[in-house]
């Protein structure tokens, strides 16, 4: 199974599970938790969530999914930027811990940058790490200049979670190399795009067809083609979960990659960091 190495040497699955849009409908929560548990059975033991997702509802779904299996799971959650300092940060983390029904979060991320100075957020993260509330901290939706602003604290930043897929390749110009040089993985959210346009693209469908795979599997395999990337697709039904897990076995050829580069050109210059 493909894995990614965090700066502290911890190995995590390169293909995990996302939870955006989970927990929004009470009637769906049992099925969503079952889908996550199936993902755990299939080795996708990294689960990403956030206090923003369904205003804590997704964290509650995750809690149900990992009940009795916490030791198997590498648990990631994220804090709102308006909660990212001082007592607000501590209180937000405590609420997430309560919803997740766990004593510690393996990786706690700043969801995006707000008005709070990064130094204040890092100070709060470090206090929570010292208290055992989190094991590691990282960021999301931060570009190279933001990471450079961390200064010496950058060495303790475990990951940067950003929008990365065939349609959004801007991070390849500078952010992805910057993180790789420092041994810090990039977590790719929305790896199969939004709204289905990517999955309908003829080039991606042609590549997938040659391998007897779905376009989504080919898109996931593309994000996993090189080291230093953790891909976190969301799936709410068993068939989708199994299909995502099978994408780990798909190896794109040089011809495949060349065709995808022609259809989705890699960046030739710095681009503004894309976000959802």
Confidence of residue 96 (pLDDT cuts 50, 70, 90): very high
**pLDDT for residue 81 is more than 80:** yes
**pLDDT for residue 1 is more than 80:** no
Tens-digit pLDDT profile for residues 142-174: 999 999 999 999 999 999 999 999 999 999 999
Q: Would you state the pLDDT for residue 99?
A: 98
Q: Is residue 23 part of a domain?
A: yes
* Structural domain boundaries enclosing 7: 3-263
Please state whether beta strands 46-48 and 11-13 pair in parallel, antiparallel, or not at all (unpaired). unpaired
Q: Is residue 269 part of a domain?
A: no
Separation of alpha carbons 74 and 136, rounded Å? 11
Q: Is residue 270 part of a domain?
A: no
Average pLDDT over the chain reads 97
Look up 80 and say whether it is catalytic: no
Q: Is residue 204 part of a domain?
A: yes
Q: Would you state the pLDDT for residue 236?
A: 94
Tens-digit pLDDT profile for residues 116-138: 999 999 999 999 999 999 999 99
Q: Is residue 103 part of a domain?
A: yes
Tens-digit pLDDT profile for residues 22-48: 999 999 999 999 999 999 999 999 999
Q: Would you state the pLDDT for residue 195?
A: 83
Give the CATH number of the domain where residue 15 resides. 3.20.20.100
**Total number of domains constituting the chain:** 1
Tens-digit pLDDT profile for residues 215-235: 999 999 999 998 899 999 999
Q: Is residue 254 part of a domain?
A: yes
Which of the residues 53, 108, 164, 189 is marked catalytic?
53
Q: Is residue 275 part of a domain?
A: no
Q: Is residue 142 part of a domain?
A: yes
Whole-model pTM: value is 0.97
């Amino acid at each position: 199974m493909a894995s990614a190495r965090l700066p502290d040497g911890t190995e995590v699955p390169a293909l995990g599970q996302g939870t955006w849009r989970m927990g929004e409908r009470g009637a769906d929560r049992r099925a969503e938790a079952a889908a996550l548990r199936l993902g755990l059975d299939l080795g996708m033991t990294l689960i990403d969530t956030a206090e923003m997702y369904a205003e804590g509802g997704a964290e509650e779904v995750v809690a149900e999914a990992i009940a009795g299996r916490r030791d198997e799971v590498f648990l990631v959650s994220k804090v709102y930027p308006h909660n990212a300092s001082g007592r607000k940060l501590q209180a937000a983390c405590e609420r997430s811990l309560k919803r997740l029904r766990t004593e510690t979060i393996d990786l706690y991320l700043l969801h995006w940058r707000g008005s709070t100075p990064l130094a204040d957020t890092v100070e709060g993260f470090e206090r929570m790490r010292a208290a055992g509330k989190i094991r590691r901290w990282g960021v999301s939706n931060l570009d190279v200049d933001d990471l450079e602003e961390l200064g010496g604290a950058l060495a303790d930043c475990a990951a940067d979670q950003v929008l990365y897929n065939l349609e959004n390749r801007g991070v390849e110009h500078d952010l992805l190399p910057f993180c790789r040089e420092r041994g810090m993985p990039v977590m790719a959210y929305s790896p199969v795009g939004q709204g289905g346009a990517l999955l309908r693209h003829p080039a991606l469908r042609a590549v997938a067809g040659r391998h007897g795979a779905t376009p989504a599997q080919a898109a996931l395999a593309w994000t996993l083609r090189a080291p230093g990337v953790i891909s976190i697709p969301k799936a709410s039904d068993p068939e989708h979960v199994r299909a995502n897990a099978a994408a780990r076995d798909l190896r794109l050829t040089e011809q495949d990659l060349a065709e995808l580069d022609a259809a989705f050109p890699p960046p030739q210059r710095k681009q503004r960091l894309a976000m959802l």
